[in-house]
Amino acid sequence: MKKVLDKGYVRLVDKMGSDLSIVNAARVSFDKESYALNEKDESLIAYLIREGHTSPFRHANMQFEIYSPLMMARQHWKHVVGSDHTMDSWNESSRRYVTEVPEFYIPSPAEWRGAPEDSKQGSGENLPESKGKNWTEAIQLHAELSENLYNQAMTDGVCAEQARLFLPAYGLYIRYYWSASLQSVLHFLDQRLDLHAQKEIQVYAEAVEVYVVQEFPAVYEAWRKAHEPNAK
């Protein structure tokens, strides 16, 4: 399990396939098969990535359990909505049914960022910690007040699916399963490791990246080299 932010995590639940699965999915076109990964196989993987031949990467899959603030989960969800034929599946906990103690993402005083000077979206430089401390205390107080109202509503007989209206949504942690083809996982890394992505989702992508390195080292190395500056 890889810890992320203050309370979040990414956990690899299961996986199907290996670097060799990608190679053999590609070699079947010529009625060939490899039984142990070699240099020619690694060159083939690099060729597939370089030339954008993505279908072999759909023959390997990864399943993750992720615990993240809702604002990050909804950014991640865009990859599932747009995945089309890359085979993604998504299931998440629902506060219609789950009434466990809510948890919220509370940025530390050093984590608050200012607005960018040259854009209407994203963020700029970190704010002074003295200013960030005020906002950390404010959001902590807001979360505590909201949780108290949530609990009071349910104690008074309000159903969970309506009581959850009192919880501040964007910072609320949710737990979900994400299953995806290796092609889709690499696309997620393409988009969310980018320095222009929101910082909080970058750290989730970094945690996913660790598992890709662990489970598909040859694919990851070829993918990494293809993304180096001046790569051809």
| Catalytic residue IDs | 192
- How far does CA 144 lie from the centroid of its chain? 27
- Cβ atoms of 122 and 116 within 8 Å: the answer is yes
Cα gap 134→179, rounded to integer Å: 39
Residue with token string 């080299």: 225
> b/e per residue, 17-39, with b = 16+ CB within 10 A?
bbbbbbbbbbbeeeeeeeeebee
Tokens of 178: 């994400």
Tokens of 134: 């005020």
CB neighbour list of residue 194: distance below 8 Å, 6 or more residues apart: 202
In terms of Cα–Cα distance, which of 103, 96, 68 is closest to 176? 68
Q: Residue 68 carries which DSSP code?
A: E
- How far does CA 24 lie from the centroid of its chain? 28
Tokens of 160: 């969970």
Cα gap 161→120, rounded to integer Å: 34
